[in-house]
Amino acid sequence: KSRKLHILIKDDGNGFDVGKVLSQGRRNEKFGLIGMEDEVELLGGRIAVESVKKQGTKIKVRIPLGEYGQSRPEENN
């Protein structure tokens, strides 16, 4: 059975347009959500961001775990 680390971050803030933030972020430096997305993908995981204006934001992260909590099994060289 594969093990995964699940992280849920949510708030009840103002919310925002996820598509707009992600597309603008790709043109600029790697900060915030863009940086999180890149780091999670490097670990073989997935990130999902849902946000509704005036209702808040929910970020779900799933990262596969190897033995002893490692994010990826070590390669044999």
Evaluate if residue 13 carries a pLDDT over 80. yes
Domains and CATH numbers, the chain: 3-69 (3.30.565.10)
Q: Which pLDDT tens digit goes with each residue over 17-63?
A: 888 877 776 665 556 788 888 899 999 999 999 999 999 999 999 99
Predicted local distance difference test score (pLDDT) of residue 4 = 93
pLDDT at 27: 61
* Backbone angles phi and psi of 21, in degrees to 5: -65, -45
> Helix, strand, or coil here: 71?
coil
Side-chain half-sphere CA neighbours of 6 within 13 A: 3
The tens digit of pLDDT for each residue in 50-75 reads 999 999 999 999 999 976 555 555 55
CA distance 21 to 11: 17
pTM across the whole model: 0.72
